Chains A and B, each alone.
Chain A
Amino acid sequence: MKRITWERVTAILLLSPSVLAIALFVYGFIAFTAYASLSNWNSLVPDFSWAGFSNYQKLFANQRFQIDLRNTVSFTILFLFACLVIGFFLAYLLDQHIKGEGFFRSIFLFPMAVSLIVTGVVWRWLLNPGSAEMGSTGINLLFDKLGLGFLKWGWFTDPVVWHIPPDSGVGQFLQQIGLGFLASPLVGISAGVVSLVLAATWQMSGYTMAMYLAGLRAIPNELREAARVDGASEWQILRLIILPLLRPITLSVIIILGHISLKIYDLVVSMTGPGIGFSTDVPAYYMWDTTFRGNHFARGSAIAIVLLLMVAVLIIPYLVWTNKTEAEL
């Protein structure tokens, strides 16, 4: 149908630098990293001799990395949950014909504009517990002043990891059915991760709110009115009409925030570092640390590839799906 014209050629030529750049800088580089992860390159001087999958084997046997995987999974789950719930809650409130809606919206959204480094620096101070001898500081101090001293705790300095105790009833049951590993500290949530989630939620929940608000506005009022006429309670309307209609938005938010949270790095660097007993360490941090501090390039590459695979599991189905729906247009 379409004739080959010079203009068509021009178009392709103009697009090709971008395509080539991405081909090299994304796909080529990923291939290089994958190759490096199978090598013995563990000093400043590149050594591409073949190591097979030994780097991966060592990595998954490495206690620090196991903790990192736990942290990143627990962080992602908690963070997504908090953002979805708070974001929806705020959007739902703002959708109630609020005076000064723009003002509130701005307040909930502005943390998005701030660098995660700034967020980390501020929250490190906010959640710095202080101590009995030197006095409380940050939020703990605020709790003291508000008479809520019983809420004080160590935040990210607390080494506690919440998990199912192996000797509890549930833990013993899990062991009996062969799922004993679920009752170990490697399947748990560290206090450090909870602190990170607080800061990250402060920063990103405004985004969920904005998405949900846009979604709520797109739901025709007639639908709700009709339901009301049919005698549905507000709760039923929310559960049976609004939430199902918002499902695509929830999916988008999970994809976007999910991939951000799997990659989270800046916040860890500026807020907590790897933390006590690596309670806030994540693969992205370990990768940078071991590669550029320890010169374990092969190990760093292996971590990067694991990270990429985790993100890919989340993103590729989504891209394929959008690609299909696009093609149908």
Chain B
Amino acid sequence: MTTNTSSRGGPVGVGRIKRLVLYAILIFMAGLYLIPIYLLIVTGLKSFTEVSQAQMWALPSGLHFESFTKAWYGSPAEGFRGLGSNFWNSIILVVPATILSAMLGSINGYILTKWRFKGDTLVFTLLLFGMFIPYQSILIPLVQVLSKIPWFGGTTLYGTLAGLIFVHVIYGLPITTLIFRNYYAAIPNELIEASRIDGATFFSIYRYILFPLSVPGFVVVMIWQFTSVWNDFLFAVTITGNPDTQPITVGLNNLAGSYIVEWNVQMAGSLLAALPTLLVYILLGRYFMRGLLAGSLKG
């Protein structure tokens, strides 16, 4: 079909068939992408009597939330812990880690764009490398160091949620700095210069010019950090050995790792673990996209 016409300008019949095929392909692909989610929801909503291998693709007979209850509270008799406490641990972890990361990233981005100094791009590049390293290469000393930093209650930072927050803030510095730096770079320097002439100081420039302008930047960074901290597994499994402090990813992996737990409970647990980030994605998808694109350096 070597026509020199676009789909819009072509003969009506051909164009329409093309469009139909196009939509058919898209719907088919969308269906493929939804298969795991379908299974997740359908299985999670089944009652215990409905769960069988042969029926795994069938719809549930109604809305049964017993799997969620069991996933949340666990079943001491069968010897597995619920994810409820892990869920709260994740909340306690994610909120401060996200806020602290965003604040630090914002300050760093401000300095690296508006208070440039000799070698600042080198500093930034070195900072950025921290984003790409395999964390395995810092895990061993990390455990050693955390276990030597004292913390309240006679313990050390190792094994505590505070320690995990600390770790996420530090290793979140590169990405948060990057996003804010790209964001602030777009704010014209003339604006800063003008206010400097008006006598604005380092802090007042940030407080009254940059900060009010950076709300979208904060949203992007916070969504990014929220999802990556919530979804983190490697740091969590290494640093929190005690089930009482483990975030939900570790809890879910432990729950799913033991075959005593029925599939509907595993799926309900997975949904619980996925829910907050999915909600963020659904409600703030636009910013989520922006974070993704920013994460790829080219702002």
Contacts and interface: CB of A to CB of B under 8 A. Distances in A.
A and B touch in the complex (CB under 8 A): yes
Contact of A259 (B132, B136, B231, B280): B132
Interface string A93-119: 110111000001011111111111111
Contacts of A303: 136
A93 B230 contact: no
Interface residues on B, range: 35 or more
Interface residues of A, number: 103
B22 A98 contact: yes
B297 A301 contact: no
B53 A311 contact: no
Interface stretch (A53-61, A130-138, A188-196): A130-138
A319 B231 contact: no
A97 B26 CA distance: 13
Contacts of A96: 7, 22
B171 interface: yes
Interface in A173-229: 202, 206-207, 210-211, 214, 228
A218 to B, nearest CB: 11
B242 interface: no
Contact of A115 (B36, B130, B230): B230
Contact of A11 (B8, B36, B56, B111): B111
Contacts of B278: 110, 113-114
Given A30-B138, A107-B34, A125-B263, A118 B252 contact: yes
Name which of B57, B112, B140 has the most chain A CB atoms within 10 A of its CB.
B140
A151 interface: no
B289 A228 contact: no
19 contacts: A7-B202, A11-B117, A12-B111, A14-B111, A22-B174, A26-B138, A29-B137, A109-B285, A113-B278, A113-B280, A114-B278, A118-B252, A121-B270, A207-B292, A233-B4, A304-B137, A307-B137, A322-B297, A323-B125
Given A19-B127, A319-B125, A228 B6 contact: yes
List 4 A-B pairs, minimum CB-CB distance, nearest first.
A115-B231, A113-B281, A29-B138, A11-B115
A161 interface: no
A15 B133 contact: no
Interface string A312-327: 0001101110110011
Contacts of B266: 121, 125
Interface in B201-222: 201-202
B39 interface: yes
Q: Which of A114, A206, A211, A232 has its CB near the most chain B CB atoms (within 10 A)?
A: A114
A305 interface: yes
A90 to B, nearest CB: 6
Given A15-B123, A291-B139, 5 more contacts: A21-B173, A117-B252, A145-B57, A234-B6, A323-B125
A22 B238 contact: no
B285 A106 contact: yes
B121 interface: yes
B298 A248 contact: yes
A111 B141 contact: no
Contacts of A233: 2-4
Given A109-B285, A307-B136, A118 B274 contact: yes
A265 B234 contact: yes
Given A21-B170, A26-B130, A122-B270, A323 B121 contact: yes
Contacts of B34: 107
A113 B227 contact: yes
A319 B107 CA distance: 22
Interface of B: 2-8, 22-23, 25-26, 29-30, 33-37, 39-40, 53-54, 56-57, 104, 107-108, 111-112, 115, 117, 121-123, 125-130, 132-142, 144-145, 170-171, 173-174, 177, 201-202, 227, 230-231, 233-234, 237-238, 249, 252-253, 256, 263, 266-267, 269-270, 273-274, 277-278, 280-282, 285, 288-289, 292-293, 295-298
Given A98-B23, A107-B30, A252-B296, A14 B137 contact: no
Contacts of B104: 18
Contacts of A308: 133-134, 136-137
A49 interface: no
A109 B289 contact: yes
A30 B137 contact: yes
B141 A126 contact: no
A221 B230 CA distance: 40
A108 B33 contact: yes
Given A14-B107, A117-B233, A292 B238 contact: yes
A202 B36 contact: yes
A284 interface: yes
A240 interface: no
Contacts of A135: 53-54
A116 B250 CA distance: 11
Contacts of A15: 107-108, 111-112, 123
Contacts of A142: 57
Contact of A125 (B39, B111, B233): B39
A8 interface: yes
A19 B296 contact: no
B133 A311 contact: yes
Contacts of A228: 4-6
B298 A252 contact: yes
Contact of B253 (A117, A137, A315): A117
Given A19-B127, A122-B267, A319-B128, A93 B298 contact: no
B54 A141 contact: yes
